[in-house]
Amino acid sequence: MNADKFLALTGYQFRQQVLLQQALTHRSFSRNSNNERLEFLGDSVLNLIISNHIYRRFTDADEGDLSRIRASLVKQSTLAQVAREINLGDHINLGGGELKSGGFRRASILSDALEAVIGAIYLDSDYGQVEQVVMQLFENQLDSVKTGAGLKDPKTRLQEYLQARQQELPLYEIESTTGKSHSQLFTVSCRIENPALQALGSGTSRKQAEQQAAQKLLDELKL
C-alpha cells in the first residue's frame, strides 16, 4: 500500500513511506524488517488514546468500568474488525505459508498490523495526529460502547445468573483442538444443569471459545 492509498482509506498521509511498509510487513515475510516493534509501540499509543477518551467521556464510570470499556475496545476482535473496515488485510505483506492459509483474514494478524500502523503514524507525526486517526477509525466502536452490566463478558454474566439462583456453575470442556501450534482452533463445550443446556464455541484460544459457548447459552436463556 502506498501513502496515497492509505490517505484514501484513513485520512492520514504518511510522510515516510518506509514506516508504512514496515507496519504492513508480517514476520513470515521478513524476519529482519517486520512490524513487531511497531506493534509494541502502537499498542501503548492506542491504549493511551482510548484511556484518555473514555476517561473524559464516561465521567461517572469507576476504575473497574473504565478498565472493562477499554478492554472491549482494544481487544483482538475489535482491532481486527476495524482493520477489516479499511481492508487492511489486502495490503499486509505475508510469507507464502501465511498467504496460503488465509493469514490476511486472521484476527491476530489483522489486529497486530493495525497496532503497528498506529505506531508508525505516531513516529511519522505526533500524538495529536495519531489521536485524530484513532478516533476516526474507532468511531463506530466508541459510539456503541456499553456501560454497566453490558460490559461484563459472557462467562461472567452466565456465572452470575446461575449463582443468583443458587445453581451449579457451568462446566467447560475442550472438545477438540485442531491446527498447528501458531494457528490452533479450539472447540469448547459449555453445559449447565438447570435448565439442561449445552452449547459449543470455537476460537483461536480456549478463552475465546469458552466465551462464545457461554454467549450461546445466554442467547438460549434470552439474557
* pLDDT per residue as tens digits for the range 153-193: 889 889 989 999 999 999 999 999 998 777 789 999 999 99
Residue where a domain stops, chosen among 127, 147, 167: 147
Q: Is 62 a known active-site residue?
A: no
* pLDDT value for 131: 97
Residues 186 and 122 occupy one common structural domain? no
CB atoms within 10 A of CB 122: 24
User: What is this structure's pTM?
Assistant: 0.69
Give the span between the Cα atoms of 35 and 44, in whole angstroms. 14
Catalytic residue (one of 39, 43, 124, 210):
43
Residue where a domain stops, chosen among 147, 171, 199: 147
Catalytic residue (one of 98, 112, 115, 124):
115
* pLDDT value for 3: 80
Give the span between the Cα atoms of 36 and 78, in whole angstroms. 19
Give 204's pLDDT tier (boundaries 50, 70, 90): confident
Which domain covers residue 46, as residue numbers?
3-147
Q: Is 193 a known active-site residue?
A: no
* pLDDT value for 217: 93
What lies within 8 Å, CB to CB, of 180 at 6+ separation is none
For the chain, the domain total comes to 2
The DSSP secondary structure of 113-158, one letter per residue, reads HHHHHHHHHHHHS-HHHHHHHHHHHTHHHHHT---GGGGS-HHHHH
